[in-house]
Structure 1
Amino acid sequence: MRKRYAICGVSGRALGQFAKPIHELFSHNSEVVALLDTDPARFEAYRSRFPQHTEVAVYGASDFGVMVDEMKPDCIIVAGRDDTHVRYITAALERDLDVITEKPMATTGADARRILEAEAVSRGKVTVTFNYRYMPIHMRIKEMIQEGRLGRITSIDLNWYIDTHHGSSYFKRWNRERAFSGGLSVHKSTHHFDLVQWWINQKPVEVFAYGALNYYGAEGEWNPAREDGRHCRTCRVSEDCAYYSRWTPRSRQVRVPDDHLNLLGADPKDFPYTSYRPDQCIFDSTIEIEDTYTAAVKYNGGALMSYSVNFSLPYEGYRLAVNGTRGRLETLEYHMPARTPFPTPVQTIDFFPLFGSKETIHVVHREGGHGGGDPLLLEDIFLGEDRNRPYRILSGAADGAYSVAAGEAVWRSVEEHRPIAIDEVLDGWGSTVPAQKVREQ
């Protein structure tokens, strides 16, 4: 008997990350039985992409209960705009349904707590699709820490770099509004916070951060003209915009690597969704979120992290160092070699024992999105978690909540100029829920 899935939020990620593998790889045990969204044009996008599955039932945003009653799904896939996640996750849990949700699980600590409380009294469970965990090199780092090669973890240095293509894309879309995304310390940095707390098996307890809007917004020094309401495709000064010119060929016949929806520079009539423009001006004065952060994070096992992220850099990737009482590991990743304007080496891990010689570790690389992580994640979701691994890897609601709370603590610390306790963001949740309801990492 095949498991029945309903998708809430028919986004590009919903189509590519969930519907496509269900139809093409896991149709023997899985099927999409319903779609729910605010925009009927998104149902047409689904039918166009999967013409052999046009019979799938469709529902409006307020018809969740009707959808569940009529189609009787076993699991809800949540992949709409970030601020809508909590609505459908909690509604599913109230009906004792399992949930698979895109990251971030929610946009605020308060909504994360609502989800935790709903899961605590539900027979359903939440899985958050943190695909960074599944990159082979990240799994090897987890194994090295778990094997004790570094000893007790004392500190982490993590510096994340987002290039001018990827970074500017957030400021062209709804992500630039904190009400929709939680800001980039939530929408993007939850990936990073989850990865660290999974590696070291510790939870964040306090955050202090600085942040700023340095590149985008009206004050951005690359702004070619002080004028609001522009769109890239119709902008009169687009050829004077370095961000646009760098990533948009003049002929518009060449696709930029990893172009979101392949719509950069497209004509508005070609946008597949209603009232959705992924080409809003990155220099609008209404932009309020930050594009640069540095933060110090304290963990409940004693580890300390120095974290930074910058959303307008010449290349994409990260530098990582993990220090322990027995040694240190370092690695450097260039995340998008096709967009990097210089040769990039294959990623390795350098291990330095506290007393001894350096060892360079090569990791078997896999094909697939997010450094080979996506195929492994999808297998765990649709075939069941691989029990041969010596650690848990699928993320649950508690993982999602702590990553969201860390992200909110970052931007709140920036605004309030003080350290922010995770317990404050989650309103004491960790001390009020029975231990057996918190999924182990």
Structure 2
Amino acid sequence: MARKKYVICGVSTRANGMFIRPMLDTFQQHCEIVGLLDADPGRFTNCFKKFPALAGTPVYAPDQFQQMIEETKPDAVIVAGVDYTHADYIVQGLEHHLDVISEKPMVTTGADCKRVLDTQNNSRGKLYVTFNYRYSPIHMRIKELILEGRIGRVTSIDLNWYLDTYHGASYFKRWNRKRSNSGGLSVHKSTHHFDLIQWWAGQRPVEAFAYGALNYFGPEGELNPVKEDGRYCGTCRVKHNCKYFMRWSSRSKEIAPPDDHLTTMDSKTGSSTGYRPDGCIFDSEIDIEDTYTAVVKYDKGAMLSYSVNFSLPYEGYRLAINGTKGRIETMEVMSGRAAFHVPEQTIDYFPLFGAKETIHVVPRAGGHGGGDPLILEDLFLGPDPLRPYEIMAGAEAGALAVLTGEAVWKSAQANRPVRLTDLLVESNVSELSKGRVSNRV
């Protein structure tokens, strides 16, 4: 069988680690990378240095997508650049009736959700959104417990997500700090969480009410050593007075913490564009929130109580799912950067009438709790024939997660509930609400 040909839009840290490396190694017999597209030529240089096998691969600028398709004749497009660029490449790929693999978030706005959904409905290609958290062994087992009917119909979910002072702060150093790039963290980060909830519950979100705030970062951050814009960690004259910097550094060197997926081969790219990934977390350019609490209502009656905080002493989450027949609980603390002993993550199952059961799940190696290797197998080898349920996310799931995130942000701004259908025009509302969007999961 001939290898499938891929072009990659956005030669980012994520593209290099998540896609290019395994495509050249594990999936070499099934994949061929025939073109690379990026706004920064420096990323091509870094990519070829890291992966000599790609030397000579044609490269293209963002306005050369059509030329790239005509010259390389790919079977599929991988979209892994800055979030706001996703929509154009997804739409163009689907218009060419190609399969498209997109990093999350699928897009950053409801308007772009409409564009993608409309195009998907008229395309012979399929869109796949890489919600790899679904593929964690713990998360898959939770889905299986719900499908087995162990807790009955899902009625309410409590999810509290914590990011530590390294990972959380990183979003405020990089391009994510501007809403125009990322949609804000209720979209860029929380779509992961909202997707898990809608997938577990088997219900579609319909309305959100939320509060949001910038508590830690930006110029008014209480730990800002001096109000002065334009600083970068690499050259900052006051960084040794910055508690966020010094938590992961000494006065003589910066120390990458364990399990650091942010220190990567292309962390210094951007010389052609002026971009730096070490901007000051207290800069006034920051226009996104670092704290959210939200309530989300679903179409079959479930309710989500959600919070996310981007500056905490440790990283992880607490989850409880309640149903008409019982309750599921689990807690994860990411062990790599935790400053204390971390117990094994288990699932506690409480039947409505009966004894508690503790479920130990076999761990799996790989990023995102072992999810990355499995989702790559589904993407490049096809769905696992032994898995009795659907897991890969498509256009509808990607849109619902983004719409939930945008509704959370807009609710926080307007101080009122926001219905997801208000973020789409009527032609899309009818299709989405009835589950008629193609490639549905």
Q: TM-score, normalised by structure 1?
A: 0.96
Q: Does 1:325 align with 2:327?
A: no
Name which of structure 1's ranges 276-285 and 69-78 shifts more when overlaid on structure 2.
276-285
Q: Does 1:439 align with 2:408?
A: no
RMSD (Å), alpha carbons: 1.6
Give the alignment partner of residue 349 of structure 1, picking from 340, 347, 355. Answer: 347
**Percent identity among equivalent residues?**
60
- 2:91 counterpart residue number: 90
1:241-287 CA-partner distances (Å, limit 9, x unpaired): 000000123332643224455279x9xxx823322211111111221
1:102-127 CA-partner distances (Å, limit 9, x unpaired): 00000001101100001111111100
Q: Does 1:194 align with 2:190?
A: no
- 2:393 counterpart residue number: 395
- 2:143 counterpart residue number: 142
Give the alignment partner of residue 407 of structure 1, picking from 405, 417, 420. Answer: 405
Q: Aligned runs of 1:25-64 on 2, under 5 Å?
A: 25-64=26-65
Residues 432 and 394 of structure 1: is their aligned pair in 2 closer, same or farther, counting only changes over 3 Å?
A: closer
CA contact (8 A) 1:211 1:411 kept: yes
CA contact (8 A) 1:6 1:32 kept: yes
1:119-138 CA-partner distances (Å, limit 9, x unpaired): 11111110000000000000
Offset of 1:425 from its aligned partner? 1.3
Structure 2: state its 5+ residue gaps. Answer: none
Residues 190 and 32 of structure 1: is their aligned pair in 2 closer, same or farther, counting only changes over 3 Å?
A: same
CA contact (8 A) 1:263 1:278 kept: no
Q: Does 1:271 align with 2:268?
A: yes
Offset of 1:52 from its aligned partner? 2.1
- 1:292 counterpart residue number: 291
Distance in 2 of aligned mates of 1:292 and 1:82: 20
The secondary structure found in structure 1 opposite 2:166 is helix
Distance in 2 of aligned mates of 1:291 and 1:435: 33
Name which of structure 1's ranges 277-286 and 341-350 shifts more when overlaid on structure 2.
277-286
CA contact (8 A) 1:295 1:307 kept: yes
Q: Does 1:244 align with 2:245?
A: yes
CA contact (8 A) 2:156 2:321 kept: yes
The secondary structure found in structure 2 opposite 1:7 is strand
Name which of structure 1's ranges 398-407 and 285-294 shifts more when overlaid on structure 2.
285-294
The secondary structure found in structure 1 opposite 2:336 is helix
1:206-232 CA-partner distances (Å, limit 9, x unpaired): 000001000001111111111111111
1:79-117 CA-partner distances (Å, limit 9, x unpaired): 000000001000111111110000000000110110000
Distance in 2 of aligned mates of 1:375 and 1:212: 35
The secondary structure found in structure 2 opposite 1:279 is coil
The secondary structure found in structure 2 opposite 1:338 is coil
Q: Aligned runs of 1:108-257 on 2, under 5 Å?
A: 108-252=109-253, 254-257=255-258
Distance in 2 of aligned mates of 1:189 and 1:438: 24
The secondary structure found in structure 2 opposite 1:140 is helix
Residues 435 and 314 of structure 1: is their aligned pair in 2 closer, same or farther, counting only changes over 3 Å?
A: closer
1:342-389 CA-partner distances (Å, limit 9, x unpaired): 000010000111111111000000111111111000000000011221
- 2:301 counterpart residue number: 302
- 2:358 counterpart residue number: 360
Give the alignment partner of residue 382 of structure 1, picking from 374, 380, 383. Answer: 380
Distance in 1 of aligned mates of 2:219 and 2:264: 24
Offset of 1:235 from its aligned partner? 1.1
Aligned length: 436
The secondary structure found in structure 2 opposite 1:233 is coil
- 2:8 counterpart residue number: 7
Structure 1: state its 5+ residue gaps. Answer: none
CA contact (8 A) 1:392 1:440 kept: no
Amino acid in structure 2 at the alignment position of 1:37: D
